Structure 1
């Protein structure tokens, strides 16, 4: 019978803190979110729950045991935000809720305090109870990455919802195609645009996915249809090394085209994703029948700067107005993206 090998136990917060200080936890396995997504108030509410000895959901850990040394390490599959909240409290980075005492289970003295305040003599019993609070742990014992990814995917369909891209990352992070997405997210010329996105929710990688699939297919895609991205990632996840290199080469070519345009995206106020996607589609169209060496970038730079300067100045020219209309709503739709690109091509 093919079933998952796991076992349950409990550790108290004191054990967890000791293990944390020994660097036994990996909070950033490939499938995890990039950083904290819980708000301070949500973290404080978890501390409220713990101090009042209410239960919290179990923590899922992927256990790694070095058979030679016996050293054990743990990848956090599920529970990163909960463990992070506990650490934030111990490190005096968050406080208890201001209304801790309002439900009849707390006392006024525990409202809006830091961990260090528990050293007060009248609160010492609460500190002892905090250290002794039992956390249920589910240990997963497997060497199969796909199994761990599957567990992460299943566990995170409830609770703090994962974005579409976080779910893609959980499912495909070990594939060559997804590794390429992560690599391309570091491309220099894209940083002004990607820095405006919420990187901790992988919005940068989602946008790179859109640009990459556009460059592969040489046609505009809809950014408002996540199921299409899912389908394409699934399709390309088994690509050969040579194919992935072709994908990367094309992406770099279009990136280089935009770099050579030498546009000051911030000054022209076109460092948003919708404007940049138009430039990306413009690059693809211009290089369909030309090499980069055949492009007169000085002329293109002057023409595009003129276009966007008029756009900022609210020019009534037809092509400017056509472009402007596509920026009013539904900016990620296929039709609006195509029209923006056509406006640039016709103007140039």
Structure 2
């Protein structure tokens, strides 16, 4: 089957796009689409482009069926999520056309919400014609995903994790995304807003799951993560066990933070490289002792409270291991060994 033969070309107004989107007939399939990425400046520039009457790139949508109760046709957005999201958000009054991001600083629409535009400007937006490529329902989902990847492979808009989100729909990534919903991450602001938009949380959590499955010596490079997604795509019997273990370790970290009067430990929990090491060290302690003792909790709190101002041999080595390359296998192993020994009291700082 040649996909190009299964695509119809037509134009639709923004009015049609907004109505179908708000009615749920035009939607984003997040099983392969990335999270909403555009910042306000990108959204504003798009709206300005429309107001200026310039052309914007075409949008791909895929017919997925018909609502049996209303007869409305359902479409999945294959390419154009950012553009449609920006348009609908502006129409809904979610942002104004901030002057700082406009090329025409003194335009009449500068600084205005949609509701504040002139009648003519509103009419121009509603009537603006978008180029659509409608993909017929007969096209298989795997071909749609390949098309999405192909459309996004010619530029740098998608990072490796976003590409994985499009390519894989298996058990491993689903488990990582469920763990990403744990309250811990937001409570301690582990991931920035940009990292969340670009699925940095899912990639980091994937590295934790890789450790639980393959140990500390496993590869956490991009190719290594891809291999794990392949291996555990269709069968992942340990998924619930891994999720429970992650939750248990995060709960232990939470307890340590509450006992740390200095507040220093929480600072390192917010840093992914430190969090990765702390996660593995605590896992090893819990595996060996079932629970962390009061003395062990005291040891890790004391270590991090002195971390930045300690100049003993071990503390300096530990800091250097983070500076020399956090993903290097030998460095990872040595960092975990040091921290584990500190927690167990084998090393006194």
TM-score, structure 2 length as denominator?
0.82
Give 1:245's aligned residue: 237
Give 1:42's aligned residue: 42
Q: Does 1:215 align with 2:212?
A: yes
Q: Does 1:320 align with 2:320?
A: no
In structure 2, runs of 5+ residues without a counterpart are 345-349
Structure 1 pair 110/285, CA: closer, same or farther in 2 (3 Å)? closer
More moved, 190-199 vs 332-341: 190-199
Equivalent residue runs for 1:148-297 within 5 Å: 148-158=144-154, 161-172=157-168, 174-189=169-184, 191-192=186-187, 195-197=190-192, 198-221=195-218, 223=220, 225-239=221-235, 244-253=236-245, 255-257=247-249, 259-260=251-252, 262-264=255-257, 267-268=264-265, 269-271=267-269, 272-286=271-285, 290=288, 292=290, 295-297=291-293
Q: CA RMSD in A?
A: 2.9
- Tell whether the 8 Å contact from 1:25 to 1:74 is kept in structure 2 after alignment: yes
More moved, 279-288 vs 320-329: 279-288
In structure 1, runs of 5+ residues without a counterpart are none
Give 2:96's aligned residue: 94
Give 1:78's aligned residue: 79
- Tell whether the 8 Å contact from 1:11 to 1:134 is kept in structure 2 after alignment: yes
Give 1:336's aligned residue: 331
**Whole-angstrom CA distance in 2 between matches of 1:83 and 1:296:** 50
**Whole-angstrom CA distance in 2 between matches of 1:340 and 1:109:** 58
How many residues align structurally? Answer: 329
- Tell whether the 8 Å contact from 1:29 to 1:75 is kept in structure 2 after alignment: no
- Tell whether the 8 Å contact from 1:11 to 1:137 is kept in structure 2 after alignment: yes
Give 2:130's aligned residue: 135
Structure 1 pair 71/127, CA: closer, same or farther in 2 (3 Å)? closer
**Whole-angstrom CA distance in 1 between matches of 2:113 and 2:328:** 48
Structure 1 pair 191/249, CA: closer, same or farther in 2 (3 Å)? farther
- Tell whether the 8 Å contact from 1:7 to 1:139 is kept in structure 2 after alignment: yes
1:201-240 Cα shifts (integer Å, max 9, x gaps): 11110011000001100224455x312212221222132x
TM-score, structure 1 length as denominator?
0.82
